[in-house]
Homo-oligomer: A and B are copies of this chain.
């Protein structure tokens, strides 16, 4: 029979979260949630599956193509496991356009799946926090989003030198390519794809790919020059009135005024993979070279809602993945030990005391929110029960034997010391509440 056993490993590219892993995950999400709700964002949630077409239209070839988990259901519908949340939230917004009061501040925490080659920082199933604003055209929406990111970093005690928020603008990118490099509009998408992957490939391959698009040596050199220039210098190269340039200038001015500039920088190579971005785009990077994938990624997308309803509602937001962010926190030693501990009480059992007595005791503790369990077997020796309590990390053991029962008392044993104390039964909960952590 042994040879027929099923494998215990989780499906490739996915993780099992044991209780210790969940301590981390719950701590991490609750801190992010606290920041986002602090900005008055409301939580939503979407189904695991969406029709295939939702991703085919706007997610970009990579995510909607080879990375998508899609299949036919038993009713012949072509459906996909969500590879990202943005199209789903756009659908929710479109469905209630008339009832909703804009702007919306919405967030969600959910798992997404992409068929990837599992590698550092990249899995097939990961968890994302998605934060979005719908119906705000003002540049202040960008400012708020950057402000949320910096506050999330702050709440995890991240120092400014540990991360960089890198910002660009899709309209600006297009204007520079078409006006300065004289690239045809139809080629902008191809070049942006190459630029998006620039950091992940050899210089040689990068130049080869650019040449394949028809860019001449002169223009490739000019592009190199642009990459090494700052925002003001690039703006001076443009001859047209660029809306993207104005948006970037205004955003950086506001970032400066509000003190957020020290976390941010302009980076012309930030273009983002998804096709739906139309304005500001940004990514947040760990400054450690050990953790090269972006922590946060996002931007402004003006046309997603119109996939579902003929009305333009602009959106701007970001996704924050759990895998790279955990590497960031671990690499910077920002995960406190205390998140793995909580006070728990074990009630030991003695064979001659009725189980109902232990339940009464436990109920007193449950009702004042003391985490309590009753040992299952009345026939195990106390020594064995104490050993179990220690191994499991209980902080206290309550002893109620025949003698204690007669005297209406209980004894509390503190497991991190050798002390114990005997109190009246009705003082038990109060005494335990005194005990720290």
**Residues of chain A at the chain B interface (Cβ within 8 Å):** 1-2, 5-12, 14-19, 21-22, 25-26, 34-35, 37-40, 42-51, 53-54, 57, 66, 69, 71, 73-75, 77, 79, 81, 91-92, 94-96, 101, 103, 105-106, 111, 113, 115, 125, 136, 138, 140-141, 143-144, 147, 151, 254, 257-259, 306-310, 344, 346, 354-356, 359, 366, 369-374, 376-377, 388, 391-392, 394
Contacts and interface: CB of A to CB of B under 8 A. Distances in A.
A355 B8 CA distance: 55
B38 A94 contact: no
A95 to B, nearest CB: 4
Given A6-B307, A38-B369, A355-B254, A44 B17 contact: yes
B45 A369 contact: no
Nearest to A310: B2
Contact of A25 (B10, B25, B45, B101): B45
Contact of A7 (B44, B51, B81): B51
A407 to B, nearest CB: 22
- 7 nearest CB pairs, A to B: A14-B47, A19-B42, A8-B95, A17-B45, A71-B71, A40-B373, A22-B43
A92 B7 contact: no
Given A66-B74, A354-B257, A366 B57 contact: no
B308 A140 contact: no
Nearest to A68: B74
Contacts of A394: 40
14 contacts: A8-B95, A10-B47, A10-B91, A11-B79, A19-B44, A22-B45, A25-B45, A26-B43, A38-B366, A39-B366, A48-B113, A74-B115, A141-B376, A144-B376
Q: How many copies does the complex hold?
A: 2
Contacts of A9: 95
Contacts of A101: 388, 391-392
A214 to B, nearest CB: 31
B46 A10 contact: yes
Given A48-B81, A79-B11, A376-B136, A355 B258 contact: yes
Given A45-B22, A115-B73, A372-B39, A11 B51 contact: yes
A374 B140 contact: yes
Contacts of A310: 1-2, 5
A54 to B, nearest CB: 6
Contacts of A344: 40
Contacts of A1: 310
A49 B125 contact: yes
B308 A8 contact: yes
Given A5-B307, A6-B308, 7 more contacts: A18-B92, A19-B43, A22-B45, A38-B370, A49-B113, A101-B388, A143-B355
B105 A373 contact: yes
A112 to B, nearest CB: 10
A101 to B, nearest CB: 5
Contacts of A376: 103, 136, 138, 140-141, 144
Most buried by B among A18, A74, A308: A18
A143 B349 CA distance: 15
